[in-house]
Chains A and B, each alone.
Chain A
Amino acid sequence: MGAGRLYLAVAAGGFRRYATYRLATAAGVFTNTVFGVILVFTYLALWEERPGLGGYDQAQAVTYVWLGQCLFATLAIQGGGAEKELMERIRTGEIAVDLYRPADLQLWWLAGDLGRAAFQLLGRGVVPFLFGALFFPMALPTDVARWAAFTVALLLAGIVSFAIRYLVALSVFWLMDGTGVNQALMIAGIFFSGMVLPLNAFPGAFGEVVRVLPWAAQLQMPADVLMGETSVPGALAFQAGWAVVLLAAGRALQSAATRRVVVQGG
């Protein structure tokens, strides 16, 4: 079996595993829709008071909210994707089995997580987004090129999201317990991804900083690409840059960790 087909099969497995939980998916759709409605009203009040905040008009602010609800589970913005299982395997030592597989550890988990993300997008993301588009004024593009660019931005967002969570998961090799880092991941994810407020509405120097962090690649960049608020090549380059840096860091950490496993197991 070719390497490409192997990882495709792993991704398909990730997709199918999450597809099993149909009721949980339906419940998640309901929750995302409820939170979307609450957020939309608060954003509308905010934009009523400050029209054009962050360069968005009201319809764009509404679009941003529903995109956030759509991508919350897809990109595992507060964690809870493949990294959770990876941490458990590291803690119990089952990771040693994974290392013997004739596959690349990082690519293996990336493929699985992208499969999971694809399911969450279709199963859990699309419905709240359509609900939003049906009941609230949204700013959606009509040209195909923009949607194509958005799709690429989404894929890159998924890779950056995974790369961050992979680094966090590998830290368990040293910490043995993931509770603390999971919590930190959650806080950083929600806040710096722009789930609380669009990053371009963050004030001053603080805003400048959060907009260059890797979390900005997850929700802010796809949103701005979709709504035509940024240059497409610039946004994609920003995302790809972080993806490469973080994946390389993950790879370095992984080889340091594997050396440790061999020493410990020997």
Chain B
Amino acid sequence: MAERGAVREGLRAYGLIAGMWVRSSMTYRTSFLVTVVGNLLLTGLDFVGILLMFSQVDTLGGWTLPEVAFLYGLSVTAFGIADLVLGSMDVLGARMRDGSFDVLLVRPVPVLAQVGADRFALRRLGRITQGLAVLGWALSAVDVEWTAAKVLLVPVMVVSGAVIFGAVFVAGAAFQIVAQDAAEVQNAFTYGGTTLLQYPPTVFGKDLVRGVTFTLPLAFVNWVPAAHVLGRPYPVALPGWTAYVSPLVAAVCCAAAGLAWRAGLRAYQSTGS
């Protein structure tokens, strides 16, 4: 019961802080719009890169452009949501160095909510918009015999994927506390993870694919469920029903990230500055 109250309190605090940052970014409306468009272009470059590749070939790793776009749209949208909600986690290192992290610890609000909402940036909607646009095109272009289960699986993938990426953000933040700022290591898993998932699993080495299936289960963001939707073999030999376990994987990731976060907070030592 107390746990549920803490969650509600955390969400409320998150909403308040995020709302404050949104209002502040809306002060300069034109500047805000320009940065949203800039964000859209910047994240769109990845897809332009894929289009450039397909201007030279018909398939990549045996997958066609609409199929790769399907992977891309799922990965970018899921990552975009996680990035919108928790993407400010990488300012954690700076906060620890200048000592302002200590202030967050003494406030009567869950630290995770404060850190997550810190510098909440609505401009990150650019990435989600771009991901959804590519996903929309991919859905209209892929050659799939849609069933009710497959249709339902698409939003489930996006939400579970966002939660899995969110867990990676939180675990990365916990690591930053222990390592005293290593935002770039976190980038390797977050930005690196979404880049990896934009390409078909057939492109990558067997060990790498196994690693992101069983160790860091990013494959459940899109590779496994998308392979089921498209009627392609799974990246590693898994039973058919595993296409539907993404929500379960997401829940396990959350629990693990939560434990890591608590351990990180316990290990925190102020710089004293």
Contacts and interface: CB of A to CB of B under 8 A. Distances in A.
Interface of A: 23-24, 26-28, 30-31, 34-35, 37-38, 41-42, 44-46, 49-50, 53, 177, 179-180, 183-184, 186-187, 190-191, 196-197, 201-203
List the 6 closest A-B pairs by CB distance, nearest first: A27-B184, A196-B49, A183-B38, A49-B57, A34-B188, A45-B203
Given A42-B60, A45-B60, A50-B56, A31 B188 contact: yes
26 contacts: A23-B181, A24-B181, A27-B184, A30-B185, A34-B188, A38-B195, A38-B204, A41-B203, A42-B53, A42-B203, A45-B60, A45-B61, A45-B203, A49-B56, A49-B57, A49-B59, A50-B57, A53-B56, A179-B34, A183-B38, A183-B39, A186-B42, A190-B45, A191-B48, A196-B48, A201-B52
Given A35-B195, A41-B204, 7 more contacts: A23-B181, A50-B57, A179-B34, A187-B41, A187-B45, A191-B45, A201-B56
A187 B52 contact: no
B67 to A, nearest CB: 14
A27 B38 CA distance: 27
B220 interface: no
A53 B53 CA distance: 10
B35 interface: yes
Contact of A183 (B35, B48, B183, B202): B35
Nearest to A124: B184
A109 B38 CA distance: 28
Interface of B: 31, 34-35, 38-39, 41-42, 45-46, 48-49, 52-53, 55-61, 179-185, 187-189, 192, 195-196, 199-200, 202-205, 208
B184 A24 contact: yes
Nearest to A179: B35
A196 B44 CA distance: 12
Given A23-B179, A24-B184, A31-B185, A203 B56 contact: yes
A190 B59 CA distance: 24
A41 to B, nearest CB: 5
A30 B192 CA distance: 11
A197 B188 CA distance: 20
B45 A27 contact: no
A42 B199 contact: yes
B188 A35 contact: yes
B190 to A, nearest CB: 10
Contacts of A44: 203
Given A30-B184, A31-B184, A197-B53, A183 B42 contact: yes
B53 A46 contact: yes
B97 to A, nearest CB: 11
Contacts of A37: 208
Contact of B192 (A28, A31, A179, A190): A31
A143 to B, nearest CB: 31
Contact of B208 (A26, A41, A53, A180): A41
